[in-house]
Chains A and B, each alone.
Chain A
Amino acid sequence: MKVRILVSLKDSVLDPQGQTVKNALHTLGYGSIRDVRQGKVFELELEGVSEKEAEKIIPEISDKVLANPIIEKFSWQILEKG
């Protein structure tokens, strides 16, 4: 099974990298960009895991390792089943 996890700063935390990208885009003439948040992507390959088990494991490792819950949030999706 292939899973993609997205980790980004919480909305309540200032994201200067995202702000910088937004400003750069505005300078380049893309005035319609209202906001940019930057984050990290993790792609995990899992073996011998059911979807139900994944639902338990993925939030666990995201919370414990991949994201720091004080400043970051995460979301995830299954890219390939099986």
Chain B
Amino acid sequence: MAKLKFGVVIFPGSNCDYDTYYALRDVCKQKTIFLWHKEHDLKNVDCVVLPGGFSYGDYLRSGSIAAFSPLMQEVKEFALKGGLVLGICNGFQVLLELGLLPGAMLRNKNLKFLCQFVHIRVENDKTRFSHRAKKGQTLKIPIAHFDGNYFAPPETIAEIKKNNQIVFRYSDAEGKINEEANVNGSAESIAGLINKAGNVLGMMPHPERASEILLGSEDGRVIFESIIAKLN
């Protein structure tokens, strides 16, 4: 399989940049480079990954200041031209702030940071990020966030549902959607959301932390493998 080029963006305060780089380069064996937030060059990557962390300390709102960085203007253009963009955790928050995905994040419903393994159910297996999984399949992947309680006004939610944009929902191990499994309180139990064009995915769970059995799960790899299979 020909190697793809992934670009992992580093914002000041990113802290899953190395983890994502490691999962892509060392586990999935893809060509992976870092992209620096102050630059304007995407260096011809095939897929941009916005990693988790606390960009700019998340002191204003999670992901808000990162959305204004020079590189993100390039990423926006790249996405609008159909380039693949994956935002994980803080990366998802940045995509929301940037307007590449609809909605916003509120504080978790229990008002605490939550770090734990959760299950997410694959809702749409036709996307470029999920076609290697099966609809209805559950994936065991950790979350680690304070602001992961997805919110959007009712008309937006209706639109999202109509377009089949919900890619992952929080569920229990058996794939049941309920209040208890929806640990952060997200609207519609949304854990992962794709844009209408199908080239920008944001998700709160961390697939890079579930890419090796040693770490308790390798379910997250299916997302990277879907991208790799699609782009080749």
- CA of A71 to CA of B153 in the docked complex: distance in angstroms? 9
Interface segment, one of B71-79, B106-114, B206-214: B106-114
- B151, A71: Cβ atoms closer than 8 Å: yes
Interface size class of B (residues with CB under 8 A): 10 to 19
CB distance from A3 to the nearest CB of B (A): 17
- CA of A66 to CA of B97 in the docked complex: distance in angstroms? 11
- CA of A71 to CA of B64 in the docked complex: distance in angstroms? 13
**A13-B151, A71-B151 known; A65 vs B107 contact (CB < 8 Å):** no
- Pick from B60, B68, B107: contact of A66, CB under 8 Å: B60
Asked if A39 is an interface residue, CB under 8 A from chain B, the answer is: no
Asked if A70 is an interface residue, CB under 8 A from chain B, the answer is: yes
Asked if B83 is an interface residue, CB under 8 A from chain A, the answer is: no
**A16-B107, A16-B109, A71-B104 known; A65 vs B153 contact (CB < 8 Å):** no
Where chain B touches its partner, the secondary structure class is loop
- Pick from A13, A16, A65: contact of B111, CB under 8 Å: A16
A12 contacts across to B, CB distance below 8 A: 153
Asked if B28 is an interface residue, CB under 8 A from chain A, the answer is: no
- CA of A9 to CA of B152 in the docked complex: distance in angstroms? 13
Asked if A20 is an interface residue, CB under 8 A from chain B, the answer is: yes
B residues 88-135 touching A (CB-CB < 8 Å): 97, 103-104, 106-107, 109, 111
- B106, A65: Cβ atoms closer than 8 Å: no
Asked if A17 is an interface residue, CB under 8 A from chain B, the answer is: yes
- A65, B151: Cβ atoms closer than 8 Å: no
CB distance from B88 to the nearest CB of A (A): 20
CB distance from A30 to the nearest CB of B (A): 20
- A20, B104: Cβ atoms closer than 8 Å: no
Nearest A residue (CB) for B152: A70
- Pick from B61, B68, B109, B111: contact of A68, CB under 8 Å: B61
Nearest A residue (CB) for B68: A65
B111 contacts across to A, CB distance below 8 A: 16-17, 20
- A70, B107: Cβ atoms closer than 8 Å: no
- CA of A37 to CA of B79 in the docked complex: distance in angstroms? 37
B97 contacts across to A, CB distance below 8 A: 68
A-B residue pairs in contact (CB < 8 Å), sample of 18: A9-B106, A12-B153, A16-B106, A16-B109, A16-B111, A17-B111, A20-B111, A65-B64, A65-B68, A68-B61, A68-B97, A68-B104, A70-B103, A70-B151, A70-B152, A71-B104, A71-B106, A71-B151
B contact residues vs A (CB 8 Å cutoff): 60-61, 64, 68, 97, 103-104, 106-107, 109, 111, 151-153
A contact residues vs B (CB 8 Å cutoff): 9, 12-14, 16-17, 20, 65-66, 68, 70-71
Name 7 extra pairs, CB < 8 A, besides A13-B106, A71-B151: A9-B106, A13-B151, A16-B111, A68-B61, A68-B97, A68-B104, A70-B152
